[in-house]
Amino acid sequence: MPCLWGGNIRFLNIGAEYLEETIANLQANGEIFRITAENIKKFRKALRVHKTEGQRIIVGTQTLTKLYGVRCHSLIIIGIEELLNIGGYRAGERIFQTLMNLFDALCPDKVYVFTDIKRGLHIQEFMDFDGFYSKELENRQGAEFPPFKRLFLLEVEKKSQKAGEKTIMKIKKSIEDAGFSHLMIGPIYEKRQSHRWRIILKGEEDGLLGLLFSIYGHEGVRIEVDPLYI
């Protein structure tokens, strides 16, 4: 049972729907299943019931990591390097985790990986657990990222831009008064349904703890330690 995993739809413009249509146009042998977070429970049951009835092609994204109990003959991975665009300092960790989860869930007999060679992603580096772990720690230590230094993401979200700017000014003053302005990145402003600002502090937890508690007392402030996404 071939399984196709596409990295990230937004950057590649090659999502699960596109792959499903392309495979169908090629008149490939076998029934095609497009697995999403919404229909995975239904299809998991159907695939188990009919797993001996002919060839099936499964197309999906990271949802396939939850497809336990379905034996996959060939796993084809397309565009996993796109996780480098959104993974931040944990990009390598996310790629490694995604690969291991796919292998664990689908138990493929064969694996084919298609990446953009210009991105410089060497998939073999993720096949050696001890080697990847050592290299990842070395890179993070050199860049002073967790677990060697802590990252604190401060988010302020307000319906009123004026109210948000007032809170941000108070936070910046608290950081400056505490002598930690050299550890501050931002603020970065973005407008969505509401107004949102983000500030990042990078340093030792013990020295910043009192400051963070005082900042947390402001209304509309959220603090995340070592965030998955920055």
* CATH number of the domain located at residue range(s) 150-225 in this protein: 3.30.70.600
Per-residue confidence (pLDDT) for residue 43, from 0 to 100: 73
* CATH number of the domain located at residue range(s) 3-142 in this protein: 3.40.50
Per-residue confidence (pLDDT) for residue 52, from 0 to 100: 52
Per-residue confidence (pLDDT) for residue 4, from 0 to 100: 54
* Ordered mean pLDDT values, 10 residues apiece, the chain (230 residues): 49 67 76 79 66 72 78 86 79 90 90 82 87 92 90 93 94 94 92 90 86 90 86
* Cα dihedral across residues 86, 88, 92, 97: positive or negative: negative
Per-residue confidence (pLDDT) for residue 152, from 0 to 100: 94
Q: What is the pTM of this model?
A: 0.71
Per-residue confidence (pLDDT) for residue 10, from 0 to 100: 41
Same CATH topology for 3-142 and 150-225: the answer is no
Q: Where are the domains of the chain?
A: 3-142, 150-225
Could you tell me if 230 and 151 are in contact, meaning their C-beta atoms sit under 8 angstroms apart?
Answer: yes
pLDDT digits (tens, 9 = 90+) for 29-70: 777 888 877 777 777 766 665 555 567 788 888 888 887 777
Per-residue confidence (pLDDT) for residue 68, from 0 to 100: 72
